[in-house]
Chain A
Amino acid sequence: MTHETIVLHGHIIDSLLLPKVLDHILQYGGSFEIAHIRIGKTREEPSDARIIVHAESPERLAEIIAAVQAHGASVEKEADCQWQEAPADGVFPDDFYVTTHLPTEVRVHGKWVPVKEIEMDLGIWLDRNDPAPHTVPMAEVRKGDQIAVGREGIRVTPLERPAHLDVFGFMGAQVSSERPHGHLITGIARRMQALRRSEARILLAGGPAIIHGGGREPLAWLIESGYIHVLFCGNALAAHDMEAHLYGTSLGLHLEGGSLAHHGHEHHLRTINRIRAIGSIEEAVRQGVITTGIMAACVRRGVKIVMAGTIRDDGPLPGVITDSVQAQAAMRATLPGVELALLVASTLHAVATGNLLPASVPTVCVDVNPAVPTKLADRGSLQAIGLVMDAASFLRELARHLGWKE
């Protein structure tokens, strides 16, 4: 969708010019919002209207504008986006434009150009070697980079209600533990089947409760079946997943039966130490040390794993990124092509992932704590589903819908 603002001035009410222009916009396949209208108080006093015209393509928009210009509508005067050089590495110019997670365009030499890699709370950078502006995090800006400042020449398109008439299309921002889950999970499964057919990517960000609660097997099955393409997690999910393979326990408790293993609290440390000795998770899988579970499935299926560390991680495992700026950059780099994000049982990874994603990507947030899905749903996406439920139950039910047999 693209849009342009037009203005109408004159005796547009009694002459029926305003309804005529609005009708023309619709007849030519566009839609409109009346941003402002001022009606003259006397017959002599003219009226004004400011109308935002939406169309599905720039060509269609140009046709509409040409059609309504004959009736006196003029395109609102627009200015180019203003740019200023970053004063130092890691520092934006004063008055830098702060991005939203909505589709954004900037006006460069009279043309509206979409901003690439939409993400909230960043700046917009115009690279001299690339005609398309893109977002840039504060930490990555370099002295002298051209950064968008002010608000002129920058426009944000509100998201439309999605065209798909599935559970994502009908969801508002409500999250409640008292809502039935079954039909939502069915809808999520249908979307995943459609995405797998279209070769779009699905991301899962998860916490270790997936392992403790019994979600390891269904998640590994989802990965092996080609439903997950990117995994975001921390040290713990990977450690307990591999502990389960080596010892049959998660945090020292037997996954079968639930009894405490003798010296079980050491199991995840011994697991981490073993992987550190081998050098990498990939190598451990290749050597046949780890053959079941989530990590093994990811390595076999070539799923991109980004492990971001936190304070007082044990080990950590090889591959865990302990610099948070590097970790967010690694997460960001895997996002192109992601069209669905499942955020399961991890407050930190769920919130971080949600803030990295443009509003156009549907998200499913599953957590026993209602605060987490509520926070994610409050991001203003029309396609956020929040489920207050146990991670393992969610994954089991989802996998069953997709053909997993326990």
Chain B
Amino acid sequence: MSRFLVCPPDHYQIAYEINPWMDVKRGADPTVARVQWNALAAVLEKNCGATLERIVPVAGLPDMVFTTNAGIVAGHTVVLSQFRYPERQPEETPFEQWFESHGYEVKRLPPGLFFEGGGDMLGTRNMWFGGYPQRTDIRAYRYVGEFLGREILPLELVDPRFYHLDTCFCPLSGGEVIWFPGAFDRYGQAAVMERFPAEKRIAVPEEEAVRFACNAVCIGKHVVIPEGSPSTMERLEKLGYATHAVGLSEFIKSGGAAKCLTLALD
């Protein structure tokens, strides 16, 4: 059973600009966004057998839809995020309340240490990676690693378009990884190649990377992926995954897609 925390897009809009994707003037269409979000939820629940926990959206916190940035969950423990941008810092309180009211042991990082949860920390059962320095301070991984008893390999993100690790890196259940190598420096590329042999690495072409092909959700042998990434889907299918393309254009306008809209609860 896979459970995810999601947040309906009741208050979703582009109210500020904190990454190169956001454009307040262009904005996002709330009706289309609602339709796309519902379609994603339906695919996750009906096609992939996932359970979705819905947090109550808060007016004035448009990016709360991107629940993956709330923290990182391992078993019954959550390490809460501390957002870099003041625009998103007020999200910390409702997410903290949700985890406390649902019986999680809540871990907090030292004040002032930025960490953006599942947006920057991804992994498999025994191999975790942490993106830095655009949103998360690399020093946060020391604490997260100790809280969760995990090895976390920091990877430097060097392209501002791929500001979170989950915009360019997606480990899969079968030990493969979808990634866009151009988002990493050469040390990060070497560290990924050391951990994933060539046949397990699915390098996404740039035109699909900018359509958020890496911002996918893997549930067993299902991969939910934003539409517009045919070559990535073809490679996934060859590896035996069932792919589900979902149109998420209104959310990509804010720099997020399927993965950003879901936080794995284990």
Contact = CB atoms under 8 A, between A and B. Distances in A.
B10 interface: no
A60 to B, nearest CB: 22
Contacts of A43: 126, 151
Contact of B145 (A16, A19, A46, A70): A46
A10 B129 CA distance: 12
Contact of A16 (B132, B142, B151, B191): B191
Nearest to A19: B187
Interface string B130-163: 0011000011011001000111111110000000
Q: Is the interface of A mostly helix, strand, loop or mixed?
A: loop
B195 interface: yes
A17 B187 contact: yes
Contact of B142 (A9, A14, A15, A70): A9
Given A44-B151, A71-B156, A10 B194 contact: no
A114 B191 CA distance: 42
Given A46-B145, A70-B138, A15 B150 contact: no
Interface string B185-198: 10110110011000
Contacts of A72: 132, 138-139, 141-142, 154
B194 A14 contact: yes
B141 A20 contact: no
Interface in A67-82: 70-72, 74
Contacts of B195: 14
Contacts of B141: 10-11, 72
Contacts of A17: 138, 154, 187
Contacts of B138: 10, 17, 70-72
B186 to A, nearest CB: 9
B232 to A, nearest CB: 26
Given A19-B187, A72-B154, A10 B145 contact: yes
Interface in B100-145: 126, 132-133, 138-139, 141-142, 145
Contact of B153 (A15, A19, A20, A74): A15
Interface residues of B, number: 23
A67 to B, nearest CB: 11
A15 B154 contact: yes
Contacts of B185: 20
A15 B153 CA distance: 5
A65 to B, nearest CB: 15
B153 A11 contact: yes
A93 to B, nearest CB: 39
Contacts of A44: 145, 149-151
A16 B126 CA distance: 18
B187 A20 contact: yes
Contacts of A20: 156, 185, 187
A70 B191 contact: no
A11 B150 CA distance: 10
B74 to A, nearest CB: 13
6 contacts: A11-B145, A15-B153, A15-B154, A43-B126, A43-B151, A71-B138
Given A10-B154, A11-B151, A72-B139, 17 more contacts: A9-B142, A11-B141, A11-B145, A14-B151, A14-B153, A14-B194, A15-B155, A15-B188, A16-B187, A16-B190, A16-B191, A19-B187, A44-B151, A46-B142, A71-B133, A72-B132, A72-B154
